[in-house]
Amino acid sequence: MRNSNGIVIKSFKTISLLFTLLLLIPTLSLAAQYKVIRVVDGDTIVVDYKGKYEKVRLLCVNTPESVHPDKKQNIPMGKVASGYTKERLKGKYVDLEFEGPFRGRYGRLLAYIFVDRINFNLELVEQGLSPYYTKYGLSKKYDKEFREAERYGRDHKLNIWGDPDLTQKYLRLKSKWGQYRSTVNSPTATIKTKEWKYVASKNSKVFHRPDCKWAKKISPKNLIGFKTREEAAKSGRRPCRSCEP
Ligand SMILES: [Zn+2]
């Protein structure tokens, strides 16, 4: 009895191992499709994208400059970041993950880079080689991960965060970008605004339609709403000139 049980378990293990291997085959062949041709700097690379050499700007990161035409902008930390990206990506095969517009300014592809299935954009932030760059908006897919990665880099005083001057510089920039203003597109905010015909900021004398570009910039903690236009007007606010509610 014991023997036959043993055999059953053993062959079950073999079968499940085979299954695991079979499951891995398509994943392995899908992984890493695009060859890195050149690393331009910490946050920009050139890949062979479907037979064409394309410049790729990494999303949600902005490493210090190393090859900027305005030489004053190039700083030693830029070289460190560029060296790191070269080390990690040069000659490798990577995957690209897109979010939002396919191309940005200067026609570069905008993407998250995966190397050995690791999100390299996040890795740069985790290493303190870039802040979580939110000038053009928060990451839709990895906002939480970027915040955690940045927290890690700062807590461990890695690279940028180990340099008091750079730390000051990036903290100033970050408050300008408004990373801590969370997005109105969060599920709770969307539900709330659905019930409202008009919205406003607690701190402003203007009211908007919920889909107004200015309404979308209001931080959820300041966002208030009105069911009728009359209610909005009664609050002492005037209609926005852009969305004309
Ligand atoms: Zn408006």
The single residue of 57, 88, 154, 237 carrying the catalytic annotation is 57
pLDDT given for residue 75 in this prediction:
92
Strand order in the sheet with 238-239: 223-226, 198-201, 206-208, 238-239
Q: Catalytic: 87?
A: no
Residues 6+ apart with CB under 8 A from 86: 39
Q: Is 208 helix (H, G, I), strand (E, B) or coil?
A: strand
pLDDT given for residue 143 in this prediction:
93
Separation CA 245–CA 243 (nearest Å): 6
Instruction: List the Cα angle 62/68/70 in 5-degree steps.
Output: 125
Q: Which two tokens stand for residue 171?
A: 């903290």
Give the mean pLDDT of 198-208: 93
Least trusted range by pLDDT, from 33-47, 130-144, 169-183, 226-240? 169-183
Average pLDDT value over all residues in the chain: 86
**For the chain, what is the largest distance between any 2 Cα atoms, rounded to a whole number of angstroms?**
85
Least trusted range by pLDDT, from 19-33, 131-145, 183-197? 183-197
Reply yes or no on whether the pLDDT at 209 is more than 80.
yes
Confidence band of 180 (pLDDT split at 50, 70, 90): low
Separation CA 1–CA 39 (nearest Å): 63
Q: Catalytic: 65?
A: yes
Give the mean pLDDT of 147-154: 94
Give the mean pLDDT of 32-58: 96
Reply yes or no on whether the pLDDT at 185 is more than 60.
no
Confidence band of 144 (pLDDT split at 50, 70, 90): very high
50 forms beta bridges with: none
Reply yes or no on whether the pLDDT at 5 is more than 60.
no
pLDDT given for residue 122 in this prediction:
97
Confidence band of 208 (pLDDT split at 50, 70, 90): very high
Give the mean pLDDT of 115-139: 94
Give the mean pLDDT of 194-223: 88
Q: What is the pLDDT of residues 51-86, one digit of tens each?
A: 999 999 999 999 999 999 889 889 999 999 999 999
What does the CA dihedral 134, 140, 122, 214 come to, rounded to 10 degrees?
Answer: 0
Neighbours of ion ligand 1 (CB under 5 A): 208, 212, 214, 240, 242-243
Reply yes or no on whether the pLDDT at 187 is more than 50.
no
Residues 6+ apart with CB under 8 A from 234: none
Measured in angstroms, how far is the CA atom of residue 70 from the centroid of ligand 1? 38
Reply yes or no on whether the pLDDT at 132 is more than 60.
yes
Q: Catalytic: 244?
A: no
